[in-house]
Amino acid sequence: MSVATERPDELNEILQSDFLTNHTWVTFAPTVTQSGAVTLTVTFARYIVLANTVIVQARLAITGAGTGNNAIIIAGLPTAILPGNATVNDHVAGNSVISNSGTAFYQGALVYVGVNDFRIIAHNTTDFIGVDPNFALANGDFIGFQGSWER
């Protein structure tokens, strides 16, 4: 005999409790650098952990400035990326869009290059956004991204 056959109500309560406790969206506070720290307002940044998979969604409103010809780096991730998966620059975790003060929109792949941060590479470019295309983040820009990884 098992809990499932002898006490189905108890099993259901345990499963619901575990699901509600361990599978809820939680906020986090990502940071952005482009040669130096870039001030921002987190419009929203949330994540959920399902088993060993982390899923994130965020929108960051830039209020400061970065330095052109430098990669835009998103850090402050809620959990580290499994180290074995974060050893090269071509692991795509998701997608992103950057608005350059409304004058241009850059879509790209959210790429992890270490266990704690992302960069973005646009289609048909040779380097990370901020270098190719070359521009500096500025007040009024925003970064939106979503992605997932194994922790």
Hey, where are the domains in the chain? 25-150
Q: How confident is the model at residue 60 (pLDDT cuts 50, 70, 90)?
A: very high
Q: Could you tell me which of 50, 119, 116 has the C-alpha nearest to residue 85?
A: 116
In tens, the pLDDT along 101-115 reads: 878 999 999 998 877
Indicate the burial class of 34 (C-beta count within 10 angstroms; 0-12, 13-18, 19 or more). buried
**Which CB contacts under 8 angstroms, 24+ apart, belong to 133-136?**
133/104, 133/106, 134/68, 134/69, 135/68, 135/100, 135/104, 136/34, 136/65, 136/66, 136/67, 136/68
The correct answer on CATH 2.60.120.260 for the domain covering 25-150 is: no
What is the arithmetic mean of pLDDT over 113-140? 92
* Dist. CA 50–CA 34, nearest whole Å: 31
Which DSSP helix (H) or strand (E) runs through 33? strand 31-33
Enter the pTM of the model: 0.82
